[in-house]
Amino acid sequence: MTDIATRATHTPRAVQSPGGRRRLSGGGPRAGTVLAFITPFFLPFVLFYLVPVGYALWQSFRVVRRTGGQYGTSYTTFGGFEQYGQVFHDSEFWSSIGRIGLFGIVQVPVMLFTALIIALLLDTPLLRLKAFFRITAFMPYAVPGVIATIMWSYLYSPQLSPVVELLEGIGLQPDFLGAGAVLWSTANVSTWLWTGYNMLIMYSALQSVPQELYEAARIDGASNWTIAWRVKVPIIFPSIVLTTVFSIIGTLQLYAEPAVLRQISSHISSTFTPNMLAYAVASGNNYQQAAAISVVIAVITFVLSFGFMRLTSKRAGL
């Protein structure tokens, strides 16, 4: 009898609506209310993300033809995978991919390892003035990428840099903008900009770890070093994976730093990175091929990000 009474109490009752139709009282939220909540996100998402992506994809399958020879009337028509064929046969495209791949293989691990070390140092109970060091480490992220690159360009310039002058004074001949160093000069700017951002994600993850775990490890005789690498790092591993995925995406989107340094270095071409190549092609009014390049970059970004997530998902618990 008790179970029957309980079910009767919690079962929605059919009530008479003002229009004479029967409806259930105690039902879910109305569709209009749900729509009002999701529209502020969904509408800009469709207009400023899905529509541009769809338009770029559509443009990538179109080609420009001419009637009557080179100086004839041009028209745009469906070309299938012709633009993609040109992209895959373009040596400049593969050179930019190789260059950015080398950039990511070196820069991303260095940046994330530095961010992890700073996050662990900020989380240790031995460090004083934590708020000051936390703000100091995060501050470069607040500087726009273009402004940061202009600042570093003065430190790289042989005519203006006090760093170059100091190194020349001790017998060294640095060439930060030379053919062999300009890629790593760009990597240095990116590392300076984004280390604080990644550090903050890792540090926030560390703050959510229960202190009882650290106390139990100390009772077992673990040192601060052991706690850091055997307790803290495994626990925040999902955050490390997240920052790695963000860094992979950001690496393939690299544009601002080399574009600014190109003004003072002859060793940075207009096709230095895949994004710069797409912009250079679009500047030549070949929007269809630029769209194809953008789509290929997006696919490579998705494959690398998704592949890394799949490789690390079991260990990260994602």
Backbone angles phi, psi at 129, to 5 degrees: 55, 45
**pLDDT > 90 fraction of the chain, expressed in percent and rounded:** 56
Which residues are 200's β-sheet partners?
A: none
Per-residue pLDDT, 315: 62
The answer to whether residues 199 and 119 touch, using CB atoms and an 8 Å cutoff, is yes
Q: What is the DSSP letter of 273?
A: S
Q: What is the DSSP letter of 232?
A: I
How far, in Å, CA of 140 to CA of 158, rounded?
24
pLDDT band at 2 (very low <50, low <70, confident <90, very high): very low
Q: Which residue has better confidence, 131 or 82?
A: 82
DSSP E strands in the chain: the ranges are 14-16, 22-24, 62-67, 73-78
Averaged pLDDT, 164-175 = 89
Picking from 39-48, 100-109, 180-189, 269-278, which range would have the lowest pLDDT averaged per residue? 39-48
Q: Count other C-beta atoms under 10 Å from residue 251's C-beta.
A: 21
What average pLDDT does the chain have? Answer: 86
| Residue 11, helix vs strand vs coil | coil
Per-residue pLDDT, 5: 42
pLDDT in tens, 131-159: 888 899 999 999 999 999 999 999 999 88
Per-residue pLDDT, 90: 94
Backbone angles phi, psi at 62, to 5 degrees: -115, 150
Averaged pLDDT, 6-22 = 47
DSSP E strands in 52-196: the ranges are 62-67, 73-78
pLDDT in tens, 280-308: 999 998 999 999 999 999 999 999 999 99
Please say if the pLDDT value at position 112 is more than 90: yes
Per-residue pLDDT, 12: 46
Chain centre distance of CA 141 = 14
Alpha carbon separation from 127 to 135, 228, 232, 234 (Å, rounded): 14, 14, 16, 22
The answer to whether residues 124 and 218 touch, using CB atoms and an 8 Å cutoff, is no
Picking from 5-9, 58-62, 71-75, which range would have the lowest pLDDT averaged per residue? 5-9
Picking from 38-42, 239-243, 244-248, 282-286, which range would have the lowest pLDDT averaged per residue? 38-42
Strand 73-78 with 14-16, pairing? unpaired
Alpha carbon separation from 29 to 15, 22, 37, 184, 216 (Å, rounded): 17, 17, 11, 55, 46
pLDDT in tens, 84-93: 999 999 999 9
Q: Count other C-beta atoms under 10 Å from residue 152's C-beta.
A: 21
Burial 55-90 (b: 16+ CB within 10 A, else e): ebeebbbbbeeeeeeeeeeeeeeebeebbbebbeeb
